[in-house]
Amino acid sequence: MSNIIIDGKEIAMRFREGLKEEIAELTAAGMTPGLAVVLVGEDPASQVYVASKVKACAELGMFSQKFALPKETTQEELVALIQQLNADDKIHGILVQSPPPKHIDEEAVILNIDPRKDVDGFHPINVAKLVLEDESGFVPCTPLGCMELLKAYGIETAGKHAVVIGRSLIVGKPMAHLLMSKKANATVTVAHSRTKDLPALCRRADIIVAAVGRPEMVKADYIKPGAVVLDVGINRITDETRPRGYRIVGDVDFNDVKDHCSAITPVPGGVGPMTIALLLANTVKACRQILAASKG
């Protein structure tokens, strides 16, 4: 067993470098890819995520605009901003940072984003395109990042049994569709909180994607020797030995699992960096499609 630690930072860096040429090409054609990031409220984690997205755009020569709205912002005010961005020719991707304050209806917000600019891939039109394997649509960035990691490490999916733990629209469901697509050809089981005897089910998997939001839930007894483990979880747990009083862990108990699998993503430094890289890629794709449509 090779026990590969999948380096998401390295792959994301290479992926972003590959985007630079495409961005320069589009800019030369008169259309610089532009991303609008909207943040409602002052959630510290969301502020960090937004800052990293804006910084990543600048590093690649993309245009970005950050809209930091007070937590009292109404649904109507937020929708009005989105409609303004839908009509803005400089903006090709619109991202509303999740989660918004409780009084905001997130589903209604997503429905108001132009599907051609929905670089998060959450609009029902893009969800349908994913299911139909229509590549003009946008796929949520985290599951797309997982697929890119498998590809980068030459990990075969065809004919393999994959278990996806979690059924959210953000990761679990799109991940399952990507793995069962005609490109990937995996056989997929989606597990969740009501799945009976989850460890036994996981032990039959060649590939496990953990996206359930429970710190270090997946232990060594979930893993078939030689399986590939992708850990999508980002959980903050108390740790008084750390300067900040906490540490970040995944949904997989990394130290318990790493010697039982052939490849595993660490947290942090695994899937996380790929999420931003694919957000940038989706924005570049949106720009290219909008440019092509404008030329008729």
Which residue spans within the chain are E strands per DSSP? 4-5, 34-40, 63-69, 93-96, 161-165, 187-191, 207-210, 227-231, 235-238, 246-249, 261-264
Beta bridge partners of 94: 36
- Report the distance separating Cα 75 and Cα 291, nearest Å: 31
Q: Which of 246, 251, 245 is nearest to 267 (CA)?
A: 251
Cβ-based neighbours of 76, under 8 Å, separated by 6 or more: none
Q: DSSP string spanning 220-246?
A: GGG--TTEEEEE---EEEE-TTSTTSE
Active site (annotated) includes residue 219: no
Residue 229 sits at φ, ψ, to 5 deg, of -125, 120
- Report the distance separating Cα 181 and Cα 18, nearest Å: 25
Catalytic residue among 97, 160, 173, 258: 97
Which residue spans within 17-159 are E strands per DSSP? 34-40, 63-69, 93-96
Active site (annotated) includes residue 53: yes
Helix (H) or strand (E) holding 90: none
Active site (annotated) includes residue 224: no
Six-digit token pair at 42? 């002052």
Catalytic residue among 114, 117, 118, 120: 120
**Residues taking part in catalysis:** 53, 97, 120
